[in-house]
Amino acid sequence: MQLLLRACSLLLAVLLLLNSCGSTGAATTHVRDGQPLLMGEARFPDRSPRSTSGQPGVPTRLRIPAIGVDAIVEAVGVTASGELEVPVRQPWDDVGWYRLGPRPGERGSAVIDGHLDRPGGAPAVFWRLRELKPGAVVQVLDTQGEWWSFRVHALAYYPPAQAPLQQIFADTSGHYLNLITCAGDWIASEHQTQLRLVVYTTLIT
């Protein structure tokens, strides 16, 4: 737990300077009075991981059928300056699993990030993430050949400085997978977007 809390402190810079933003623009999302926007929330019972092969393997593929995502997962950490690394093999099409946190299927909050758009504004892997609704299914394949399924229970938009790091990175009350990308208007002077979108999901199988 202490390790996760220390990671949260380090990752303040992650949400302030998240590399998963596009470089020139983003889809517009409005925010009221600088407060987080919850776009939908539903509660589903958390279930324990399957015991077929012990602990989950390293994630290798992410599928979100509702929005047409089928992406390779790369393991990422943080840079020397505290920013979350992004995929390097296919940066606009792959997603990055935060390897210093839990694996999807383990207790705690696994985190996967992805770019919203490409240079010039063309859609990247998480362009349609904002279209997800509570109840949508997110699937992760691991190195042991196991598929882990999660159900979306909430979407939230946060100004970077107000993002709840404990909730996103260090909630150990269940088995979670949180997806992160950028949202809102592009702020050229700050080289980032106005908001961060977090999709919260809970393990169902």
The domain that holds 95 is classified in CATH as: 2.40.260.10
User: What is the C-alpha separation between 10 and 169, in angstroms, rounded?
Assistant: 11
The two three-digit tokens of residue 75, written as one number: 């393991």
Tell me: the pLDDT tens digits for 48-85?
445 355 689 999 999 999 999 999 999 999 888 777 78
User: What is the C-alpha separation between 25 and 70, in angstroms, rounded?
Assistant: 23
Q: Between 94 and 49, whose confidence is greater? A: 94
Quote the pLDDT of residue 180.
95
Q: Give me the chain's average pLDDT, please.
A: 80
Number of domains in the chain: 1
Average pLDDT rounded to a whole number, residues 126-134: 97
Contacting residues for 65 by C-beta, under 8 A, at least 6 apart: 137, 139
Average pLDDT rounded to a whole number, residues 144-150: 97
Q: Between 136 and 83, whose confidence is greater? A: 136
Could you tell me how many residues make up the chain? 205
pLDDT at residue 28 greater than cutoff 60: no
Supply the range of the domain harboring residue 111.
2-203
pTM, rounded to two decimals: 0.80
Quote the pLDDT of residue 192.
66
Average pLDDT rounded to a whole number, residues 143-156: 97
User: What is the C-alpha separation between 133 and 155, in angstroms, rounded?
Assistant: 8
Quote the pLDDT of residue 49.
46
pLDDT at residue 90 greater than cutoff 60: yes
Instruction: Report the range out of 4-8, 20-24, 175-179 with the highest average pLDDT.
Output: 175-179
Average pLDDT rounded to a whole number, residues 33-39: 45
- Alpha-carbon torsion, ordered 13, 18, 19, 22, to 10 deg: -150
Which pLDDT band, with edges at 50, 70 and 90, does 191 fall under?
low
